[in-house]
Structure 1
């Protein structure tokens, strides 16, 4: 009942974030550490950034199938230059030319599902041209025209893959792979947080054990001093008790320093402010549940994201192999346009008059039009395209071999970790009993020492044995917990709640 009340009090303190160790001290449970690390750690931010990058990369290629509207302006485009004019049977002359263009073009491009594009373009600009003739005492000739042009154009690749759809598929595979990498990184973070948390817990418990050992040696020294003063023990026993006390005090100072280093490592791992003081909260209770090897292997092969990543690598390499294969093949292209152009026929007037004149000119000027059907047929490249294809095909075979080897590695890892879990669980049970026996034995030794049945040296040996058993139990407990964490990571399966971890953890 007392133990249950103690646990309830700890939960209440954590739930309401009561800071009982000072204003800047933070109580952290294992679940708190995982939650903080999955939001604030350097590693999760790095993988999250990579995932977002791939998402934007995918969105870019999805957007290539949507229409595009572009506007280009000349506001203005002005130039003046001296040009050399060659003349027959005489020396060249040098005229001065000036030009200022104001206007722009508006282009609407629609991407066709076949990988080509259909574009509608409108050009409209006003141009001032001035020429000074050197042979006519630099007399100037000026023009002031408005140009209007309306074009519809088509471009369509032939006899080849739809490159836009291929790029989109590649971007989608890269994005899906980044999702797998991100989820796997989360599981790795949980495992690393488990390792860091229990390393910090070990350092904390080592401090408690060293503190208890130091206090026991101080009590032993106090009793030895009293017994020496009454003549019940020789001076040598008193000196042994005093040396033991000094050694335990030094050891306590060492483990305190180790604890602070582990705290800094853990704060960096989960992304906490380095100036924040933390105290972890846990107990040495552990869960025992049945682990079926066949289930572990089946779930590992079903859920392990390395297999999905390897499969994505195969699909990506297939795209590269197909591109290399097309290098030596015939390719074609069809291009066409229909162009209506108008130029103002009057050299003077207002802007609206010049504009209307160019529009009227469109009605009488014949249109520009063109259709081009081109074919590129490779005849011989002395084996370059074949070599490129064979190289990419070898890479594809490598990716397939990696996938098969990854499956075998996963099976081997799962078999090994299941054995480790069973071994560590058995070892933990043994050390738990050893700890109970050693604790009772040490209490008996303290009573015997008080009664004069044991010397200070014998009591110090019993004290050292108790500390060693406590540390062995602590290490066995941490080994078991880490084995369970590694089992979850390598199977992506929760054996306690019988569910998969393949969904991204938020």
Structure 2
């Protein structure tokens, strides 16, 4: 079976990596996890309606009861049936940290045995409010943290996609270098064969020595060995790129190198400003500090005492007949306050609070260290990028000169005006210039996509990647 051939540019390679690679699939699912977590948070801020049903509940057992006439506890048989349901509407109240609720209940009981009877009970409507009174408001902290977490998830997705671009660029130029090495090795085989045959003719007329002829023959043998090794390296690089792009492993790939990029100067100050606004590492720092502050607040308030309140007002009724269970309902008022005061806990709560304060200090210090690290990375990457533009120009010029010098030296050798050493040196310089040009292109594009990753900004178009983010269209 003949292998298929695909011609890829750098832009097309990055596009395919963003669409088809396993790393892109992983990044998309990580985003979806954070997206649905945020959706759940938003949903919890809305009223929830719940229907609870107990269609049938049957008991037949022996239970302990108090006999008031004999003033003793006795065991008696009990047999009963129960069915019921309730409808609950709940709304969390972020400002105070409690919950309002409205519910309605209906239940039915039937007792069997000597005194068989039925009972219906109903709560037509009940309105209430419940919350903790210790001062810790989890809802208020969620309002600070959850939107920040989702913003971080969005920017982490963009960051990961730019990392994919960076990784795809690495694989692209690894294959590009392997292809150049293979093409040079192939050309070198042809050149050394030509030079060796020419040397044989010149040796016949004593134009070159036996040692020079052997050197030409050795070059021809080494060129063939180099070609075999270059072919192996080419297959490996092609396999690596195909695997990363999630292609068939038999896919034959040829690359089209990007042209020389246009000059683009990036300011270090601008890049640092954009990194502080968009880089998910900075959002991660803010989140870790907020979560540590949340724990300090919680442990501080819980170290004093725990208290909660539940108050409701409504109506209820009981009757042996269903048609009467909603007639003339009686008012139902419930107020419950519970308090838990730690008298002796051997410093457990105080210890938890001190641990939380220490963790906050650690989070703040770690954030400062990460901030310095990210800023250093931005400064160094921008500096490398601006230098690489000049290096591409130099590498391109050096390649043109090396190619011209090699062709002239080759022609001079063929007419007997250049020796073996000059020919070999010229060939090595030409091949080294080709390698340097590929390396300069690679370093330029790696620096470019790393800057995009660190700042989430497209400097060519001046567009912020995070502002233009639309996940639905990204898929």
Q: Please, what TM-score do these two structures have when normalized by structure 2?
A: 0.84
* Cα separation, partners in 2 of 1:274 and 1:153, compared to 1, 3 Å: farther
- The 5-angstrom pairing of residues 335-414 of structure 1 reads 335-338=310-313, 340-345=315-320, 354-360=321-327, 363=329, 367-378=331-342, 381-414=345-378
Question: Is 1:122–2:96 an aligned residue pair?
Answer: no
* Cα separation, partners in 2 of 1:504 and 1:321, compared to 1, 3 Å: farther
* Cα separation, partners in 2 of 1:437 and 1:339, compared to 1, 3 Å: closer
- Say what the alpha-carbon RMSD is for the aligned residues: 3.4
Instruction: Please say if residues 13 and 168 of structure 2, whose CA atoms lie closer than 8 Å, have aligned partners that are also in contact.
Output: yes
- Match of residue 308 from structure 1: 283
Computing the radius of gyration over CA atoms, which structure comes out larger, 1 or 2?
A: 1
Aligned pair count reads: 466
Aligned partners of 1:90, 1:371: CA distance in 2, in Å? Answer: 34
Question: Is 1:142–2:116 an aligned residue pair?
Answer: yes
- Match of residue 350 from structure 1: none
Instruction: Please say if residues 3 and 250 of structure 2, whose CA atoms lie closer than 8 Å, have aligned partners that are also in contact.
Output: no
More displaced stretch, 331-340 vs 72-81: 331-340
Aligned partners of 1:491, 1:92: CA distance in 2, in Å? Answer: 77
- Match of residue 108 from structure 1: 89
Instruction: Please say if residues 97 and 130 of structure 1, whose CA atoms lie closer than 8 Å, have aligned partners that are also in contact.
Output: yes
More displaced stretch, 230-239 vs 49-58: 230-239
Instruction: Please say if residues 299 and 352 of structure 2, whose CA atoms lie closer than 8 Å, have aligned partners that are also in contact.
Output: yes
Question: Is 1:50–2:25 an aligned residue pair?
Answer: no
Instruction: Please say if residues 77 and 101 of structure 1, whose CA atoms lie closer than 8 Å, have aligned partners that are also in contact.
Output: yes
- Match of residue 223 from structure 2: 248
Aligned partners of 1:391, 1:201: CA distance in 2, in Å? Answer: 54
| Alignment match of 1:327 (pick from 288, 302, 307) | 302
SS in 2 for 1:160: coil
Question: Is 1:30–2:5 an aligned residue pair?
Answer: no
* Cα separation, partners in 2 of 1:298 and 1:174, compared to 1, 3 Å: closer
| Alignment match of 2:59 (pick from 79, 84, 89) | 79
Residue-by-residue CA offset, 1:170-200 (whole Å, 9 max, x unaligned)? 3222222212222222222222222222222
Aligned partners of 2:344, 2:71: CA distance in 1, in Å? Answer: 52
- The 5-angstrom pairing of residues 460-475 of structure 1 reads 460-475=424-439
Structure 1 spans left out of the alignment, 5+ residues:
1-21, 132-139, 346-353
Q: Please, what TM-score do these two structures have when normalized by structure 1?
A: 0.79
Instruction: Please say if residues 48 and 182 of structure 1, whose CA atoms lie closer than 8 Å, have aligned partners that are also in contact.
Output: yes
More displaced stretch, 277-286 vs 191-200: 277-286
Instruction: Please say if residues 268 and 274 of structure 1, whose CA atoms lie closer than 8 Å, have aligned partners that are also in contact.
Output: yes
- Match of residue 154 from structure 1: 128
Residue-by-residue CA offset, 1:462-504 (whole Å, 9 max, x unaligned)? 3333223322333233333333433444455545444544436
* Cα separation, partners in 2 of 1:253 and 1:170, compared to 1, 3 Å: same
SS in 2 for 1:314: helix
Aligned partners of 1:494, 1:359: CA distance in 2, in Å? Answer: 68
SS in 2 for 1:385: helix
- Match of residue 41 from structure 2: 61
Aligned partners of 1:255, 1:217: CA distance in 2, in Å? Answer: 16
* Cα separation, partners in 2 of 1:419 and 1:371, compared to 1, 3 Å: closer
Structure 2 spans left out of the alignment, 5+ residues:
none
Aligned partners of 2:394, 2:17: CA distance in 1, in Å? Answer: 34
Question: Is 1:186–2:161 an aligned residue pair?
Answer: yes
